[in-house]
Copies of this chain bind each other. A is one copy, B any other.
Amino acid sequence: MRILLVEDELGLGEAVQEHAASAGHAVDWMKTLEEAEHAAQSIAYHLVLLDLALPDGSGLDLLRGLRGRGDKVPVIILTARDRISDRIAGLNAGADDYLVKPFDLDELSARILAVTRRYAGDPNPVLRLGDLEIDQTARSVSVAGVQTELTAREWAVLELLMRRPGALVSKDRIEDALYAFGAEIESNAVEVYVSRLRKKLGREAIHTVRGLGYRLEP
C-alpha cells in the first residue's frame, strides 16, 4: 500500500515511517504542506496520515483540497490531545479517522487496517442507472451516451445521492454536505440544484419524497 505521511515532527514521523514500512507499505513522508500538496496531486495514494499543525499551514487545507477535487482517499488525522475542535473540523472536512498523539504504533496499525478494509473491494467506479452513467473518478456524467458537464455544487448533490442509489437523503443532509457544518442557509438552494440536475440528467433520475427528501432511482 502507498501511504502519504504528512508530519513535521521528526521523531514521530520517523517512527511511523519505519513502522509502516516494516508492515510492507511504501511511505512518502512530507514535512510541509507545500510538499504534501504537490505529492497528493501527482500520486494516487491509498491512505493519507495527516498532521494538522504544519509549519506552512493547516493540514485541513490539504484535506479540503482533496475532497474538493473529489478524491476519496482515506485520511487519518494525527492530532494533539487538546484539540477536540480540530478533530471535529477534520471529520467534517471529510477525514475518515483520527489518532490522538501520542499514540501507540500498534493502534496505528489497527486503524490503518480498519480504514483500508472499509475501502477494499471498491466496486467499479462507474455507476449505471438506466441510461445514466456516472463516472465517479472522472467526475463525468453521460445520459443515453451523451456526455454532460456538471458544476461543483451539482456534483456535490449528485455524489451524495449516488452514495446509496435508492436510499432517501434528506434535504438537511444535502445542505450539510453543501455548506459548512452548521452554516445556516436561508434559501431553497437544494431545490434549485435538484432542479438543475434534473434538467441535465432527465426528470426521472431524482425522485422527490415530499417532506422527507430525495432519492436517486436505481
Contacts and interface: CB of A to CB of B under 8 A. Distances in A.
A92 B115 CA distance: 11
- Report copies per complex: 2
A4 to B, nearest CB: 19
A61 interface: no
Interface residues of A, number: 45
A111 B215 CA distance: 24
Interface string A98-141: 00000010110011011001101110100000000001011110
Contacts of A114: 91, 95-97
Contacts of A135: 166
B110 A152 contact: no
Contacts of A120: 160, 163-164, 167
Contacts of A118: 96, 118
A163 B121 contact: yes
A142 to B, nearest CB: 12
A151 B209 CA distance: 7
B152 A212 contact: yes
Contact of A107 (B87, B106, B168): B87
A124 B121 CA distance: 12
28 contacts: A84-B107, A87-B107, A87-B110, A88-B104, A88-B107, A91-B110, A91-B114, A96-B114, A97-B97, A118-B118, A120-B167, A121-B164, A122-B164, A124-B164, A124-B166, A124-B167, A137-B166, A138-B166, A138-B167, A138-B215, A139-B168, A139-B215, A140-B168, A151-B210, A151-B211, A152-B210, A152-B212, A155-B212
The 7 tightest CB contacts between A and B, nearest first, are A120-B163, A152-B211, A137-B167, A139-B168, A91-B110, A88-B110, A91-B114
